[in-house]
Each structure stands twice: as structure tokens, then as C-alpha cells.
Chains A and B, each alone.
Chain A
Amino acid sequence: ETGVTQTPRHLVMGMTNKKSLKCEQHLGHNAMYWYKQSAKKPLELMFVYNFKEQTENNSVPSRFSPECPNSSHLFLHLHTLQPEDSALYLCASSQATSGRTDTQYFGPGTRLTVL
């Protein structure tokens, strides 16, 4: 148990579908992150939220839309995705102060397949 949960664990969607990924952290952290892990590539940071405010968008296409209603919940809304968006999407949380990240804790990931 890492204190960070993600749902669903697996998702198959068509290119015209709209779906959402959910992440919840029970660790009392103030920062949350979305990462993308594609086959044969390093983890790529997508978004960073501090105290519900987005502080980093790593040039992510607009078909990925994050939402952070509070410090414990993070969503990733997906629409009109492409097959190359198929990947493992990982959520993480940490304490963060003054632009510095403490130990990051990861959820189990959502394995997304776009047909």
C-alpha cells in the first residue's frame, strides 16, 4: 500500500471517446503529479499541482485536461486521443516547498489502450 490510489487500473477507449482517470492520495501531501510511461521510454512528467494550482504543464497536448479540485484528488480528462497515447499513466504525490520536491509516492497506474 502506498497511500496513492488510481482508478481505473485498465482502460480501453476509442479515439472518439471521453474518459477520466482518477487519483487520490491519503498522505496529506500538498503536491500531485501526472506522469506518462510509454514502452521503451523514460517516465515523462505531464502536470504538477501545488495546493490545487497547476504549476507545470510539460507541453502536453490539449486532448489531456487535468483537474485538481483539492489537494487530495487529481483527475486526468481524456478526449479524442490517438493510438500513440496508449501508455501507463502514473499519479504521484509529495510534500513540496519552494520549488523543491520531497520523496514522491506513486499510485499503481492506469494502463490505457487507445484503439
Chain B
Amino acid sequence: GIQVEQSPPDLILQEGANSTLRCNFSDSVNNLQWFHQNPWGQLINLFYIPSGTKQNGRLSATTVATERYSLLYISSSQTTDSGVYFCAVENTGFQKLVFGTGTRLLVSP
């Protein structure tokens, strides 16, 4: 099956810093989503981005499908950005999201 790798596994930032999270995947996809899981376990969808670039406030994401990677940018980080960020992909023709292992982010004040 398709493999999804995220880096870095852990990241510690000072409030106000910027960061880039990476997601690599091993096969062609028709669907890529980024999620944030808060410390209470709630998963929130950040982006639906099988290709191209999207921005939402301080967050933006870029997927280069031909090169099989996606990047999530967090600018001017805040303590509320802490949690785990997951990338999930779906192979063409399969209704099945495969999740990466996540990047655990801690933003300190």
C-alpha cells in the first residue's frame, strides 16, 4: 500500500517563529488532506489540497503531486498551534485515507 512519511517527527518552537512541515508519499494520489489534532484529541481539517497552494490565515500548504510531497507552513506560531499535524493521502480509485505518523509541535510562550 501507499506509504506516507512526515518530518520532522517532533518540533519545538518559540512563539512567533515560523515552521515548515513535510509530507512525502510513495504513489500517485487524488486526495491529500492536512489535519491538526489538539491535545484533547480533536482532529480538525486544515486543508484539502491534492495539488497546488492554498492559504488560510497564518497557515498555508503546497502539494507538488508530480514529486509526491506536500508542505505545511505555519507562520507567527502561537501556543494554540501546539498539537500533532497529520498528512493523509488517498490513492486514485480507493476511498481510503492513509495517515502519516504525524509531526508533534510544541509552541512555547
Binding site for B on A (CB under 8 A): 2, 31, 37, 41-45, 48, 50, 55-56, 58, 88, 90, 92, 96, 99-106, 108-109, 111
Contacts and interface: CB of A to CB of B under 8 A. Distances in A.
A42 B86 CA distance: 9
B56 interface: no
Interface string B80-109: 000000101010011111111110000000
Chain A contact residues: helix, strand, loop or mixed: strand
13 contacts: A42-B4, A42-B86, A42-B99, A42-B100, A42-B101, A43-B88, A45-B98, A100-B31, A101-B97, A104-B33, A106-B43, A106-B45, A109-B41
Q: Interface size class for chain B?
A: 20 to 34
Given A100-B90, A103-B48, A108-B41, A43 B31 contact: no
